């Protein structure tokens, strides 16, 4: 039996992907309703200044739920971490107050294993829609396309959940909040980019190649 280090094909092969959404093609409603709130990782209590009205507090809760839906989609593909989150508003800079509405979002998703991600996203699409293709009916052939598709679908997921809705006029209220798709899949897809920023590939077990 050979001694020393042996390459294991089951070892961790991590990948990091930068996900960026910028409101450009999409309209993203701001009027009160299930489609407003865009997307944000920040809830009302993330800021010293709470939303000034119940309508704005509910919008922020919807944006926060959409972000949670996206994370649920991503973590459903494989174990992951969400890192380096940034938001932006139309006037420039990040969200700093409860009334702010995010018009951009960027974060890094780190997967320790990437091998099954494409197959997992395609299988989920078949289960939900009957087709393995992405929301634009394009074949998913890369990790970036699989992650992008998961983000778009999470952004548009229609869900209802109980959320804390805080405003300066209503404190610590738990309300059932419904979110609906804020725009078409095509528009949201056009506003999202995913790029692999790091990764580790397994090298060959060939001893001759390893010695080169």
Q: What is the DSSP code (8-state) at residue 166?
A: E
Residue 201, pLDDT score: 44
Domain ranges of the chain: 15-202
179-211 per-position pLDDT tens digit: 999 999 999 999 999 999 965 444 434 333 333
Please give the structure tokens belonging to residue 110: 């780190």
**Alpha carbons 24 and 40: distance in angstroms, whole number:** 16
Question: pTM of the predicted model, to two decimals?
Answer: 0.88
Please give the structure tokens belonging to residue 108: 């890094």
95-105 per-position pLDDT tens digit: 999 999 999 99
Residue 17's closest CA among 156, 207, 198, 206?
A: 198
Q: Are 65 and 72 in contact (CB under 8 A)?
A: no
Residue 43's closest CA among 189, 174, 153?
A: 174
């Amino acid at each position: 039996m050979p001694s020393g280090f042996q390459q294991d094909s089951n070892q961790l092969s991590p990948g990091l992907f930068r996900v960026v959404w910028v409101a450009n093609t999409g309209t993203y409603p701001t009027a009160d309703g299930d489609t407003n709130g865009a997307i944000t990782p920040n809830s009302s209590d993330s800021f010293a200044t709470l939303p000034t009205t119940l309508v704005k507090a509910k919008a922020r809760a919807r944006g926060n739920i959409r972000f949670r839906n996206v994370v649920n989609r991503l973590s459903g593909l494989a174990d992951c971490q969400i890192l380096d989150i940034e938001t932006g508003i139309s006037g420039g800079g990040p969200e700093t107050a409860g009334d702010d509405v995010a018009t951009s979002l960027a974060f890094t998703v780190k997967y320790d294993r990437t091998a099954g991600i494409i197959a997992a996203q395609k299988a989920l699409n078949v289960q939900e829609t009957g087709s393995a293709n992405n929301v634009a009916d394009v074949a998913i052939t890369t990790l970036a396309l699989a992650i992008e598709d998961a983000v778009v679908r999470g952004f548009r997921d229609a869900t209802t959940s109980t959320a804390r809705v805080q405003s300066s006029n209503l404190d610590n209220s738990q309300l059932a909040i419904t979110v609906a798709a804020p725009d078409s899949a095509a528009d949201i897809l056009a506003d999202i980019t995913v790029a692999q920023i790091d990764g580790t590939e397994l090298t060959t077990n060939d001893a001759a190649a390893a010695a080169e």
